[in-house]
Structure 1
Amino acid sequence: METALYLPVKRFLEELGFTVKGEVGGCDLVGLSADDPPIVVIGELKLAFNLELILQAVDRAPAGDEVWIAAKMSARGKGRESDARYRNLCRRLGFGMLGVTDRGQVEVLVKPPTAAPRREPKVRSRLVAEHQRRQGDPVPGGSTRAPIMTAYRQQALACASELATGPRPVRELRVRCPDAGKILLNNVYGWFERAERGIYRLTEAGHAALKRWPQQRVEVGAGAASPP
């Protein structure tokens, strides 16, 4: 699975000084530097180098300062990583190219340019905001079958965990989750229902969510992210 590539590529980028998180804003991974404003690195993962991987990177490129594509190295060395045309295409598009071995070693096949223009600053800003709001790195890049643990979902889970023992007033939930009022009112996931004015309780779906994500009870700050 593509998720098997995530940790090797994450370690590679972390060694370059980036904080990396998976499945951010539709990207398989996003890394931020410690600069202000940060350098935004986007990574796309596939089990093999192919045209679809290039096209995904083209879609993501306007939001990042640096783009890497990564895939498994073919066992016999006859994959696209050995095709000079494929590597030259990456160079022309300004993409870095990483090969991951069966042992999890990462080989730089093509280096991206040191500085790329920021062509869509609004999209870039959304990526940075989601990366910074998200607690930890709960989703490996390349995940396709499970719901993504976005910053908004983390905040909704924080509210749900506060209601696990019974109905509570919104004002009490704001101590842990300042945006509790908006999250409970919008009820994006169907986890909450109003017991009476200003007091909410969990639905069956809310209890099921806490069983599914028992470790996602995190302290969150103000500034609710966008769902889901």
Structure 2
Amino acid sequence: MAVRHETELYAPLKVFFEKQGYEIKGEVRTCDLVGIRENGEPPLIVEMKKSFNLALLLQGVERLKLSPSVYLAVERNRDKKGAVNQRWGELSGLCRRLGLGLITVTFYKTKAPVVEVLAEPDETLPAQRGGGRRRERLLYEFHERSGDYNTGGSTGVKLVTAYREKALRVALALQEAEAELQGVRSARGSAERDDVTAAAEQPSEFASAAMAEAEQAGQQLLAARPEIAAAGSAAAETSAGITPAELRKRSGVPGAAAILQHNYYGWFLRITRGRYTLTKGGHAALVEYAAVTGNVTAGV
């Protein structure tokens, strides 16, 4: 049974390595599959293709700069017995010479896929130079993600990176803060309407006198203290939007201010100095990534 997309290899490989104690995440800094175990050993990296080819081999050699534990994974199609990419003995020997592992996945119509390891990576080979910083970035990206939201082997799709997760957390905090602020304003407006209604129910002479007295007192205060009028105007301007400090506290994202300022995804709008609101795109993103936001906020 031939697969149509290499992404179909991801699920059986994920299950296979999870049974060996790995935490698996897909599409981590261009690596199709990355696995980490708590014993501190180098990360597991798997690169996948529908069939064995030179591009896959070169990709695997490049990944050896990041970790000595690199596998190449391809489909084992029983209908291609005479094809070049089915000469498993020779391909296994080639991978061993290069220090790479080789895995095949066989798909069936009526039973679960079968994963078979044909060659193990040679972790005794000298570590390749030049991959230290890249390996650190790979591990950082892996650990900063709250879960596995990408399918390994994906191309042309939006990936849930650690940065996108943090931006979603800030967007969610902004949405919730604005909703709370709107609730407070609604409650305040309701209370003010109740006060007006109560005043209207008073005898007309009493109500008119009270309103006139209050208006006169207010005018006298503003005339004597013009700075109060200015302060009230400034408060009205800053009552809209949420500050980066508040969003940093709510979201638990230390770099919330930078995310708001850079606005990489177009989710945030600066309405005045130090005040932000959520755009239509931001609201749409929270709906699109509802499964992600539900998970990333669980531990906050």
What TM-score does the superposition give when structure 1 sets the normalisation length?
A: 0.89
Give, as a single letter, the amino acid of the residue that structure 2 aligns with 1:42: I
* Counterparts in 2 of 1:127 and 1:115: CA distance versus 1, 3 Å: farther
1:95 to 89, 100, 105: 100
Equivalent in the alignment of 1:82: 87
SS of 1:215's partner is: helix
1:113 match: 122
Task: State which of 263, 272, 284 in structure 2 corresponds to 1:187.
Answer: 263
% identity of equivalent residues: 41
Query: Matched residues in 2 for 1:178 and 1:107: separation?
Result: 44
Amino acid of the structure 1 residue aligned with 2:42: I
CA gap of 1:180–1:105, structure 2 versus 1, over 3 A, is: same
Residues 141-187 of structure 1: per-residue CA shift (max 9 Å, x gap): 11112111100000001111122353322122112222211111111
Q: Which amino acid aligns with 2:266?
A: G
Q: Paired residue for 1:202? A: 278
Q: 2:35 aligned with 1:31, yes or no?
A: yes
Asked whether the equivalents of residues 68 and 121 of structure 2 are also in contact (C-alpha less than 8 Å), the reply is no
| Whole-Å separation in 2 of the counterparts to 1:118 and 1:56 | 14
1:170-220 deviation digits (Å, cap 9, x = unpaired): 122112222211111111112112122221112222222222212221239
The residue aligned with 2:134 is 123
Task: Give the Cα separation in 2 of the matches to 1:8 and 1:143.
Answer: 15
Contact 1:160–1:202, Cα closer than 8 Å, also in 2: yes
2:162 to 136, 151, 165: 151
In structure 1, C-alpha distance between the alignment counterparts of 2:22 and 2:162, rounded to whole Å = 19
Q: Which amino acid aligns with 2:257?
A: G
Letter in 2 for 1:210: L
Query: Which position in structure 1 is the counterpart of 2:56?
Result: 53
Paired with 1:90 and 1:205, the residues of 2 have a C-alpha distance of 47
Change in 2 beyond 3 A, CA 1:186/1:145: same
For the 8 Å contact 1:81–1:99, the answer to whether it is kept is no
Deviation beyond 4 Å, 4+ runs, structure 1: none
Matches within 5 A, 1:209-228: 209-217=285-293, 218-219=296-297
The correspondence for 1:170, drawn from 229, 244, 252, is 244
**Aligned equivalent of 1:226:** none
Unaligned runs of 5+ in 1: 223-228
**Corresponding residue SS for 1:201:** strand
Q: Which residue is equivalent to 1:62?
A: 65
> In structure 1, which of residues 10, 16, 19 is the aligned counterpart of residue 14 of structure 2?
10
Residue pair 1:70, 1:98 contacting (<8 A) in 2 also: yes
* Counterpart residue type for residue 195 of structure 1: I
Instruction: Give the SS at the match of 1:163.
Output: helix
Distance 1:195 1:221 in 2: 30
What TM-score, normalized to structure 2?
0.69
Which amino acid is 1:12 matched to? F
Question: Alignment partner for residue 20 of structure 1, among 19, 24, 32?
Answer: 24
Return the match for 1:135 from 123, 146, 150. 146
Supply the distance in 1 between the matched residues of 2:88 and 2:36 (Cα, whole angstroms). 31
Give the secondary-structure state (helix, strand or coil) at the position aligned to 1:190. coil
Partner of 2:282, secondary structure, is helix
More strand by share: 1
Question: What's the Cα RMSD here?
Answer: 2.0
Q: 1:50: Cα distance to partner?
A: 1.6
Compare relative contact order (CA 8 Å, sep 6+) and give the higher one, 1 or 2: 1
